[in-house]
Amino acid sequence: MRKIGILFGQENTFPWAFIDRVNEKIKEQGIKNMMAEAVSIDTVEQAKSDEYAVIIDRISQDVPFYRAFLKNAAITGTAVINNPFWWSADEKFFNNALAEKVGVPVPKTFILPSSHRPPDTDENSFRNMKFPFDWEKMFDTIGFPAYMKPHDGGGWKSVYRVESPEDLWEKHGETENLVMMLQEEINFTEYFRCYALGTDKIHIMQYEPRNPHHLRYVLDGDPVDQKILDLVEEYCIRLNKALGYDFNTVEFAIRDGIPYAIDFCNPAPDADVNSVGQENFDWIVENAADMAIEKAKQYKKGKMNLTWGSFVTDQIVAPKASTKNPIAKKAAKKAPTKKTVAKKTPAKVATSKKTTATKVVAKKAATKKAVVKKTPVKTATSKKTTATKAVEKKAPAKKATAKKAAPKAKKAKK
């Protein structure tokens, strides 16, 4: 039985609608040995958690026990959505940096040291930081008003709009141990929140973040230029493929026709019918059910079934020099090729015992075709100096000399 589970907390509308729709689709499509249910946990033993083929995670960001359970399930083969290992490592400041690298516009952003010292630290813990901190550089780059928000937060928690340096410092003091980031304000003409499923299935929703929470999704907004919508969709796909999120929301603020990614680390995004509206709710339930069923069909027992973003996969796939590495190709083109001589006679030495160095020289210093019958000059001593060996390698003797040297070599052998 390939079971599809959903792990959730206080939300009520999406999880049950998702379970019902998955089971309806399984029946409609005549799929055997597959079902959906709410995840049920009695014990969690290491490396023994393969009950589910797929789990949709809606709550582990708030419950560390669930995160540990999901990692254990993932390592035994469960396709956890979203990848619990990547989700544990991800945060908003890094996302902004990654967005720049994949060509998606984002507001100018700086990270700030926490207002209070973390537990078990003192002044020596910060000796690598310059004092005074260069606040002026940040203020000149960002400007005011600006937004200050946690570098790894979510749900619009601890987000401040700051009007001046003094306003920032006062509000920064309230954040205590939180690591905050200061971000340029984008004065937007349109704003969108987009569901992204399977990294490339996008549903764009008009959104007004300045409204009360239950009124933020705009149901009958003004028409939007199709070119902007196409660009929003393209940027959504680009970000989610880089991050590897199968279930996410991405927010964009439009300024001068350019979509700026504002918030795109929401791996357990709002999907409550009472806030997103019926039309958006129906879309997310239908398409999440399709994605989960497809993941269950692709499930391979005992294998790694997680989604990893291109940021990770690009680092572990070695490029092929012949097709993808122009530097290697150029070097290979310039490198001289050696011609092989069919019959080479290695040089002989006069000593009865060869040293290792002599053997190496003799092996490398094979004569050319025209000098096959020439014998190098040999010294009267039984042991050769390094200089003599070098001369022998570079200056092979002429034919006449070779005949005279042969008796001496024979005598030395005696």
Residues 126 and 226: their CA atoms lie apart, in Å, by 50
Q: Is the pLDDT score of 335 beyond 80?
A: no
Which token pair is 59? 């709550």
pLDDT at 75: 95
Q: Is the pLDDT score of 86 beyond 80?
A: yes
As to burial, measured by CB atoms within 10 angstroms (0-12 exposed, 13-18 middle, 19+ buried), residue 234 is middle
Residues 380 and 175: their CA atoms lie apart, in Å, by 88
CATH code for 2-87? Answer: 3.40.50.20
Q: Quick check: helix, strand or coil at residue 412?
A: helix
Asked if 2-87 and 108-185 have one fold, the answer is no
Residues 178 and 116: their CA atoms lie apart, in Å, by 8
Give the mean pLDDT of 157-171.
95
Cis peptide before 83 (omega within 30 of 0): no
In this prediction, residue 350 has a pLDDT band, given cuts at 50, 70 and 90, of very low
Outline where 248-341 has alpha helix (H): 273-276, 278-298, 310-316, 326-334
Give the mean pLDDT of 265-292.
96
Asked if the 108-185 domain carries CATH number 3.40.50, the reply is: no
Domain ranges, ordered by start, for the chain: 2-87, 92-104+194-266+308-337, 108-185, 356-413
Q: Is the pLDDT score of 145 beyond 70?
A: yes
Tell me: the pLDDT tens digits for 8-44? 999 999 999 999 999 999 999 999 999 999 999 999 9
Residues 270 and 381: their CA atoms lie apart, in Å, by 90
Percent helix, percent strand, percent coil in the chain, to nearest 5:
40, 15, 45
Q: CB count, 10 Å around CB of 25?
A: 17
Q: Quick check: helix, strand or coil at residue 48?
A: strand
